[in-house]
Structure 1
Amino acid sequence: MTVGPQRIVIVGGGTAGWMSAAALARLLPSRVSLQLIESEQIGTVGVGEATIPHIRYFNALLGIDEREFIHATQATYKLAIEFVGWGRETSRYLHPFSAFGGDIDGIDFHHYWLRTRDEWPELNLDAFSLAAQAARLGRFAPPPEHSEFGYGYAFHLDASRYAGYLRAYAEQRGVTRTEGRIQSVIPRESDGGVAALTLESGERIEGDLFIDCSGFRSLLLGQTLGVPFNSWKHWLPCDRAVAIASGALSEPPSFTRSTATTTGWQWRIPLQERTGNGQVYDSRSISDDEACAQLIGSLNGAPQSDPNLIRFEAGARARSWDKNVIAIGLSSGFLEPLESTSIYLIQMAVFKLVEFFHNSKSGAVGREAFNRWMSLEYERVRDFIILHYHLNQREDSEFWQDCAHMSVPEGLQRKIALFKESATIEFYDQGLFAPPSWLAVYLGQGLNPEAIDPRVAQQPVASLKGPLEQLANHLNRTAQALPLHREVLARGGVAPSAAAPMSLYGGRYG
């Protein structure tokens, strides 16, 4: 790849296609031509979408004004994900976009909290996260720059509006959109890659590099090049989702809610004009009609849309980049939206493509590095989602008992065993979720360590209670002083107070 591809063709629109087009138009040299092919006859999966803080970095890199983005996508703010019924049927915890407390004398804060928990059970871990406190109180403000207890924030957005917004952005910067359905794929004689596409209209579109954003069909990478799909259904058994919109909430929470059911879980995503609802389930345990009825029965108000049934299988292609085809989004892999990671995985693929486009002198070396990176990204997210299912303590259905007793990937089993033995959280060099996230799920779902750091274990609880109580009260007062989330939205949002870091936790842990 000495000069690099001059003609890039993107197959498919939706969030993946238009995120790719917008970012490449902004970040690649102007000599590169970008063409996107999509058909209005082919629907997209797009529903109400929950995101994680990395989307702010993506938007900022493209020069998108945050308040303009909020208006265009009818977005609300997001500080955390709430998990209801994931440990036991009555359990409830938050996974906030922040760390808990702060290290003391070089020792992770949670060891101190665990030391006091038995004698002070009324103060839960959420009390030591400003993001969690604000989310519980229905409040929001961007974190101040250089805050000792900083946090990240993200958005709940309308995925179709976001795709439309990025389409306008991309077309203004020279991306050509072609309406049409692909009739055939013409192979490249040199290596079996893709030389051109033929549309039903008869138009032939040639390219040097093809980006497959065709969704679950994986038209180029899967169907044409035959790159195999590695299924993770044995770890993640849910294979259906049904989505329904309902009315907007008068007090939209600044968090996504995930509520466990007997056969999977339900999501609730608050937007400004409506609420996105969905049920993810194992079709072997419940019928589509039963799942739909169960979801409708849980809505806060009447349905405002027909049910949208989505069939899927958890897993990923063996390679995301093969020959001159790169799959981004659902054509590369799928993981259920439990931790709101779909847009993040699209974003990382686009960023890595840009990086290798500029730096790689050998197409083969660049492809191999890209594939290693993306495989690891998918596997790290996969393991974190498996963790939620595996750590459940529910006894109300065979579905949950099977998840609790299943074998899990070796690396995940090692992480679980290490925390259970000593409250130590193994740190991954690469991957989205750092120790604060693992801690939230470990403790939120009832994985109690057998021991803590011996330096903390020998300290009297009485000597720790005062400082911890002062910290919790300080964070609560700070959260109480923030404006209500609905008031911030009524003002059209608020300008961020600091640059958007490429971090889940507002800068900490990178």
Structure 2
Amino acid sequence: MNGDPISRIVIVGGGTAGWMAAAAISRIMGELPDLTITLIESDAIGTVGVGEATIPQLIGFNKLLGVDEREFVRETHATYKLGIEFVDWLRLGHSYVHPFGSYGIDMKGIEFHQFWLRGRALGEAAELDDYSIAVAAAKAGKFLWPRPDQPNSPLARLSYAFQFDAGLYARYLRRRAEAQGVKRIEGRVTDVSQDGETGHVDAVTLESGERVEGELFIDCSGFRALLIGQTLGVPFTDWTDWLPCDRAVAVPCTLAGANEPLTRSTARPAGWQWRIPLQHRIGNGHVYSSTHMSEDEATAILLANLDGRPLAEPRHLRFTGGLRQRAWEKNVVALGLAGGFLEPLESTAIQLVQAGIARLMSLFPTTAFAPVEMERYNRETEEAYTDIRDFLVLHYLASERDDTAFWRYCRNLDPPDGLKEKLAMFRSSGRVIREHNELFTETSWLSVMVGQGVQARGYHPAAALLDEDETRRRLGHIREVIATTVSQMPTQEEFLAQNGSAIPRERRITA
């Protein structure tokens, strides 16, 4: 073996990122001889903790941990999520849904949407959303687990995620991690010591004077980036030119309004507002550009557009979109906000942590810390952030809005090269490209390009293999089957109650 096995892992920082790392690493690596995992966090240091919406990949992470879904939903006050609704992004009064799952059914060996494009050319007026069971169920407030055992049912192509209380999730993972042997130390790190020859971090010292030594350090210290940034000095790549929003204000409110299994993103004059309904309250926030709007105005817009009564004082956040040039430097790996930040427009924050943990497990080092493994980790991390960045930029760039200086700026963005190629390909022939197994699938790129008004000038030649009448008949049949299936699904509230996850009405926070 090149180097000795790692025996001491120190995670600096708790919150969602820290406890996800602790729970996963102790689950996967916990049986290694003599391995100790220590997590240091201070109750005096707050966590950002406003990200409550996820994407379907979290299901796999929870399964890896051996988490029972019913228990998870109950413990985190979770609701189900079938997609993200975008309101006023293309133009005022317009909305569409980025669904989980797929559209229609593929035919003749090509993607369904090519037949939808041909149908539009023939005068079919139905929107792409009409061919998604996720969209239809979400808008009807319905939910049911997917049925892969019924391949002819639209439910076989349904996918889902969760909306939950991030603080409760961190506490839930903490209990599991500690049961798996993780040691938690309460305290604030006041000093970081490095090896004089290698520059590796060899210990951190707490305010109490306690010294905690380690061989592998995981930086989950949030925007402070205590190890990767302050100590090791890894530079930060700023993407503000492409993602101009750099502020957020968040506040929870009582339950009110629609009870749909959807996260909603509503475009505002200088950014956008999120709405995330949980079982016991609604999470809300306004992400905006400080160049185009003041903090007071942003707060006023958020408070004026709540469905229920505020449950706390507004919380203000400052951030810069971008990432560390290297997420793994020497013997430090950065996860979560310490490694980078992308605004939560597509609910990717928790998934980026999850992906970073999986990448670390795949490339888990010895004390030799082989450069080839670190280089691959850093390359794949940069690709992941870059792919998501391009997907976010698409939402802003492909808008028709020109009613404010912010939206005029966004419409005139010079797209990154990867996004530029995707747009050119879709506009040419309706083809959707997915690079190197990137996070967002062809369905995701399709939904946002179509939802944002990007027009395809043609469609795949094989879509013309069906004659006009047969094309119309099949499109109509798909819509009918989806509508019939959704009519037979339980509401989300019924589903939660049937599965022992619903919070009793007396414990809900209502207006």
Sort the TM-score into its range (normalised by shorter chain).
over 0.9
Q: Which residue is 2:288 aligned to?
A: 281
Q: Which residue is 1:93 aligned to?
A: 96
Cα distance between partner residues in 1 of 2:465 and 2:21: 54
* Cα drift, residue 29 of structure 1: 3.9
Map of 1:312-351 to 2, 5 A cutoff? Answer: 312-351=319-358
Q: Do 1:48 and 1:156's aligned partners in 2 also have CA atoms closer than 8 Å? A: no
Per the alignment, do residues 254 and 19 of structure 1 end up closer, same or farther by CA in structure 2, a change over 3 Å counting? same
Per the alignment, do residues 337 and 168 of structure 1 end up closer, same or farther by CA in structure 2, a change over 3 Å counting? same
Q: Do 1:49 and 1:159's aligned partners in 2 also have CA atoms closer than 8 Å? A: yes
- Residue from 297, 300, 308 that aligns with 1:290: 297
Cα distance between partner residues in 2 of 1:494 and 1:144: 20
Map of 1:319-398 to 2, 5 A cutoff? Answer: 319-357=326-364, 363-398=370-405
Q: Which residue is 2:505 aligned to?
A: none
Cα distance between partner residues in 2 of 1:84 and 1:428: 28
* Cα drift, residue 406 of structure 1: 1.0
Query: 3-state SS of the aligned residue for 1:267?
Result: strand
Q: Do 1:127 and 1:476's aligned partners in 2 also have CA atoms closer than 8 Å? A: no
Instruction: Give a deviation string over 1:455-505, Cα, whole Å, max 9, x none.
Output: 43585533311111011100111111110011112334579xxxxxxxxxx
Q: Which residue is 1:12 aligned to?
A: 13
2:26 is the counterpart of 1:21: no
Q: Which range moved further: 144-153 or 334-343?
A: 144-153
* Cα drift, residue 354 of structure 1: 1.0
Q: Do 1:71 and 1:492's aligned partners in 2 also have CA atoms closer than 8 Å? A: no
2:192 is the counterpart of 1:185: yes
* Cα drift, residue 48 of structure 1: 5.2
- Residue from 147, 151, 156 that aligns with 2:158: 151
Instruction: Give a deviation string over 1:253-306, Cα, whole Å, max 9, x none.
Output: 111000001100000000011000000000111111110010000001221111
Q: Do 1:70 and 1:493's aligned partners in 2 also have CA atoms closer than 8 Å? A: no
Instruction: Give a deviation string over 1:142-191, Cα, whole Å, max 9, x none.
Output: 00124434121110000000000001111111111001111110011231
Query: 3-state SS of the aligned residue for 2:303?
Result: helix
Instruction: Give a deviation string over 1:211-233, Cα, whole Å, max 9, x none.
Output: 00000010000110000000000
Q: Which residue is 1:401 aligned to?
A: 408
Q: Which residue is 1:64 aligned to?
A: 67
Instruction: Give a deviation string over 1:347-392, Cα, whole Å, max 9, x none.
Output: 0111111111279986212111111111111111111011111111
Segments of structure 2 that go 5 or more residues without pairing to the other structure are 503-511
| Runs of 4+ more than 4 Å apart | 118-121, 358-362, 457-460, 492-495
Per the alignment, do residues 447 and 284 of structure 1 end up closer, same or farther by CA in structure 2, a change over 3 Å counting? same
Cα distance between partner residues in 2 of 1:109 and 1:491: 34
Q: Which residue is 2:219 aligned to?
A: 212
Cα distance between partner residues in 2 of 1:28 and 1:238: 39
Per the alignment, do residues 348 and 360 of structure 1 end up closer, same or farther by CA in structure 2, a change over 3 Å counting? farther
Q: Do 2:6 and 2:366's aligned partners in 1 also have CA atoms closer than 8 Å? A: no
Per the alignment, do residues 493 and 424 of structure 1 end up closer, same or farther by CA in structure 2, a change over 3 Å counting? farther
- Residue from 415, 430, 435 that aligns with 2:437: 430
Map of 1:225-304 to 2, 5 A cutoff? Answer: 225-249=232-256, 251-304=258-311
Corresponding letter in the other structure for 1:68: E
Query: 3-state SS of the aligned residue for 1:412?
Result: helix
Q: Which range moved further: 325-334 or 21-30?
A: 21-30
**What root-mean-square deviation, in Å, do the aligned CA atoms of Structure 1 and Structure 2 show?**
1.7
Cα distance between partner residues in 2 of 1:429 and 1:183: 41
Corresponding letter in the other structure for 1:144: R
Corresponding letter in the other structure for 1:112: F
Q: Which residue is 2:112 aligned to?
A: 109
Per the alignment, do residues 367 and 360 of structure 1 end up closer, same or farther by CA in structure 2, a change over 3 Å counting? farther
Cα distance between partner residues in 1 of 2:185 and 2:366: 30
* Cα drift, residue 98 of structure 1: 1.1
Q: Which range moved further: 116-125 or 356-365?
A: 356-365
Per the alignment, do residues 99 and 127 of structure 1 end up closer, same or farther by CA in structure 2, a change over 3 Å counting? same
Q: Do 1:70 and 1:492's aligned partners in 2 also have CA atoms closer than 8 Å? A: no
Query: 3-state SS of the aligned residue for 2:406?
Result: helix
Q: Which range moved further: 395-404 or 237-246?
A: 395-404
Q: Which residue is 1:481 aligned to?
A: 488
Query: How many residues are treated as equivalent by the alignment?
Result: 495
Q: Do 1:252 and 1:271's aligned partners in 2 also have CA atoms closer than 8 Å? A: no
Cα distance between partner residues in 1 of 2:164 and 2:256: 14
Instruction: Give a deviation string over 1:96-147, Cα, whole Å, max 9, x none.
Output: 1111112211122111111112554541111211111111111000001244
Cα distance between partner residues in 2 of 1:37 and 1:485: 38
Per the alignment, do residues 493 and 54 of structure 1 end up closer, same or farther by CA in structure 2, a change over 3 Å counting? farther
2:52 is the counterpart of 1:45: no
TM-score by length of 2: 0.94
Q: Which residue is 2:137 aligned to?
A: 134
Cα distance between partner residues in 1 of 2:367 and 2:351: 23
Per the alignment, do residues 147 and 230 of structure 1 end up closer, same or farther by CA in structure 2, a change over 3 Å counting? farther
Q: Do 2:11 and 2:37's aligned partners in 1 also have CA atoms closer than 8 Å? A: yes
Q: Which residue is 1:502 aligned to?
A: none
Q: Do 1:37 and 1:179's aligned partners in 2 also have CA atoms closer than 8 Å? A: yes
Percent of residue pairs bearing the same amino acid type: 48
Segments of structure 1 that go 5 or more residues without pairing to the other structure are 496-510
Corresponding letter in the other structure for 2:89: W
Cα distance between partner residues in 1 of 2:114 and 2:366: 43
Cα distance between partner residues in 2 of 1:89 and 1:203: 57
Cα distance between partner residues in 2 of 1:314 and 1:407: 17
Per the alignment, do residues 458 and 90 of structure 1 end up closer, same or farther by CA in structure 2, a change over 3 Å counting? farther
Corresponding letter in the other structure for 1:353: L
Q: Which range moved further: 415-424 or 25-34?
A: 25-34
Cα distance between partner residues in 1 of 2:20 and 2:382: 20
* Cα drift, residue 339 of structure 1: 0.5
Q: Do 1:242 and 1:292's aligned partners in 2 also have CA atoms closer than 8 Å? A: yes
Q: Do 1:97 and 1:153's aligned partners in 2 also have CA atoms closer than 8 Å? A: yes
Per the alignment, do residues 421 and 13 of structure 1 end up closer, same or farther by CA in structure 2, a change over 3 Å counting? same
Per the alignment, do residues 111 and 410 of structure 1 end up closer, same or farther by CA in structure 2, a change over 3 Å counting? same
Q: Which range moved further: 440-449 or 352-361?
A: 352-361
Q: Do 1:12 and 1:212's aligned partners in 2 also have CA atoms closer than 8 Å? A: yes
Query: 3-state SS of the aligned residue for 2:164?
Result: strand
Cα distance between partner residues in 1 of 2:292 and 2:175: 43
Cα distance between partner residues in 2 of 1:360 and 1:491: 50
Q: Do 2:330 and 2:369's aligned partners in 1 also have CA atoms closer than 8 Å? A: no
Per the alignment, do residues 147 and 399 of structure 1 end up closer, same or farther by CA in structure 2, a change over 3 Å counting? farther
Q: Do 1:263 and 1:285's aligned partners in 2 also have CA atoms closer than 8 Å? A: yes
Cα distance between partner residues in 1 of 2:376 and 2:223: 24
Corresponding letter in the other structure for 1:344: Q
